Structures are given as C-alpha cells and as structure tokens.
Amino acid sequence: MEKRSYIWTVPTRLFHWLLVVYMAVVFISSSEEHLLPIHTAFGYGIGLLILFRILWGFLGPRYSRFRDWPLNFRELLHFMGDPKTPYPSHNPAASFVMVGIIISITLTVISGVLTYGIQEGRGLASSLHSPLFKEMELFEEIHETLAYLTLFLIALHIGGVVIDLLLHRERGVLKSMVTGYKNIEAESVELTPFQKLLATLFLTAALATPFVALLNSSPLTESLYEEEEYSLIHPSFANECGACHTLYPPFLLPAGSWKRIMADLENHFGDDASLEEEERRAIENFLVQRSAQNSTKEAAFYILKSLQGREPLAITETPFWKEKHSSISQESFKRARSKSNCKACHRNIEKGMIEDREIRLPKG
C-alpha cells in the first residue's frame, strides 16, 4: 500500500478555500455598481490573504515554501514530456501557474486600491483622487485587464487540476486540499509554534477585513468628501432652490447649463422663479464656481464627458444620467414620483453626496 503523507497544513488549506470564496464574491459583485462596497471589502480581504501567502512562501512549512517548488524551466520541459512524474507539492507546471496567480492577484489588488482611491475618493489611496482623477478610466482599465489575466491563470490552474486527476487519480490531489494528505511517498510536514502564530494572526485578520471594510467609518473605505450643509455654505441657494425641488449639487451640470438656467428664471420649468438681480447673480456665481468643470467628483467627470460640450437644462437630459438609470424600472420612477426626485434614491444628494453604498430604490 502506498504511503499517505501530510503535505498541506491547515493554514495552507484555509488560505486556498478562503481565496476561492473571496474571489467568487469580488467577481460576482463587480457586475453591479451598487455592490462596489462589497467588491472593495472582499478585495481588501484578498489582499491580506495574498500577503499572508507571500510570507508563507518564505516562512511557512515545507511544500508551501517557494524554494520547495520546482520552478525550473528544464524540469518543466521534462515534466511536460513525462507528466506522470510524482511531486509531493506542486508539479513544475502548477508551480509556474501558482506564481503567476500570486503576482497577478497582487497587482490586481494594488490597481483596485488605486482605482478606488482615484475614482471614488475613498480608501487607502484617496489622497491621489484630486491630482489623478482625470486618469480614473486608465486605472480602471488596468484593474480590469489584470482581473481578466487572473481569471485566465485560474482557468489554467483548474485545467491542470483536472488533468492531474485524470492522470493521477490514485494520489488524491484534489482531496488533499481538504484533508491535507496525498497518497505519495514523502516526508510529512509539521508546523512550528511561530508558523502557527503567523497563520492565526493573518487568517483571522483576513476573515475580519471584509466586515471591517464595510463599516462607514473604516479607513479602508472612508471617503475624503464630507457632507456639505448648503444652508450654511450658501443660504440663498439652499432656501430659494431647495424650497421648490431637490437641492441639486452644482457639480451635476456644467457652468454653461447653470448660466442658461439662471438667465431665464421667469420660465423655470413651467414656473416663475424670478429673483432680485443681486441674489440671482450670487446664486449663479455659486453654481458656476462649483459646476462640473470645477469638481473632481466621479459623477461630474462622466457627466462632462458624456455631454461633449453640450449644455442641457436638466440633469436628466445628460447622456450619463440616462445610461446610469437605463436599468431602473418605470415602477421605481413612479414610486419616486418623478425622475428628477433624486433624493428618493440618493438620500444625501442634498448634502452633495452621491455614494454607491447609499443608493436605495424606493419600495412600493
């Protein structure tokens, strides 16, 4: 009977399955913008898992250390010619793919943190938001490209596992990631007290990180923007504009649009909203100074880009608004009473905040 050897310790197996779960969550949550907080939270969790795996590759037990992996091109070529050669841990092909996955995920997490900071003004890289916000699309594209590269490498890894199962079913390769044991002649591993402590600290932190990141006050996701009290910043704007409709933040339209609106208050969407000239001019100046051209907020950036120089009179006429709300049902708009009633879904819009995590569709 072939010897049964202990190859994968508990920390290595926990890392593997936590990574599988976290990766599934981030890829599922990447499809919907309102799930961005979840996507980001578990992305941080993945980052901590990968940091642990890199340290484990140097400080962990035998077979989990990088130096024990057959990362040799000559050995890889030999293995490709004779894939039945037994290896206690990863075979040469799996070793190269695993290194690729670790590097790819590391770069994906870093690019994700940068994108989140630059595009959303949130998280550990939020300080880069103002100087680099015009490059937000570049960082997003880099992040997406790296994510797809990671998916490709994971597909290679799964394909390799399937092939290994077909060639070496008797070795229990897949089962070893559950039990830790392989049916192979090799020296069994045992953790040192230091390795147990290292694994406990990092894996506990990796489990807690997504939940900590979902807290509003977490530095991992905290916004550099604060709510604005327009009634204190500009009382005339808050009182005159907010008395009849939602108090729209100035960054939602370009300066030209605000000038057009303020120049014809006698015919303000079917109403006469005339003001004394001094007050009218003061509100107009406030709107122009804080218009989309003078804002670093994500919505302002994309609104300007979608307009291509046009100056609509309503936010709902902007191509960006139409695209972002194209999936919203007519029933939801009916419950909101109007497409222009932004605060029905964006609860803090009248304080200058349009946050993904705060979007709530009105219920019937």
Tell me which residue has tokens 């002649």. 185
Look-up: residue for tokens 């057009």?
Answer: 260
Count of Cβ atoms closer than 10 Å to residue 137 Cβ: 14
Q: Tell me, what's the pLDDT at 340? A: 85
Residues 6+ apart with CB under 8 A from 139: 111, 114, 115, 118, 119, 132
Which of 265, 208, 164, 221 is closest to 48 using CA atoms? 208
Domain positions in the chain: 5-213, 230-358
CATH number corresponding to 5-213: 1.20.950.20
Q: Check: CB of residue 34 under 8 Å from CB of residue 356.
A: yes
Distance CA 71, CA 228 (A): 56
Q: 76 near 14, Cβ under 8 Å?
A: no
Say if CB 66 and CB 58 are below 8 A apart. yes
* Cα–Cα dist 117/2, whole Å: 54
pLDDT of residue 170: 61
pLDDT of amino acid 1: 42
Share of the chain above pLDDT 70, in %: 98
Taking a C-beta distance cutoff of 8 angstroms, is the pair 246, 342 a contact? Answer: yes
Segment 30-86, tens digit of pLDDT: 988 888 999 999 999 999 999 999 999 999 999 999 999 999 888 888 888 877 777
Rounded distance between C-alpha atoms, residue 165 and residue 198, angstroms: 32
Cβ-based burial of 133 (10 A; exposed 0-12, middle 13-18, buried ≥19)? buried
Residue range 265-291, pLDDT digits in tens: 999 888 888 999 999 999 999 999 999
Which is it for the CA torsion 57, 59, 65, 68, positive or negative?
positive
More confident residue, 84 or 354: 354
Tens of pLDDT, residue by residue over 137-176, are 999 999 999 999 999 999 999 998 887 777 766 665 778 8
Residue length of the chain: 364
Please state, in angstroms and rounded to a whole number, the distance separating the CA atoms of residues 74 and 54. Answer: 25
Confidence tier at 256 by pLDDT (50, 70, 90): very high
Q: What is the pTM of this model?
A: 0.87
CB contact at 8 A, 214 and 37: yes
pLDDT, one tens digit per residue, over 218-238 is 899 988 888 899 999 999 999
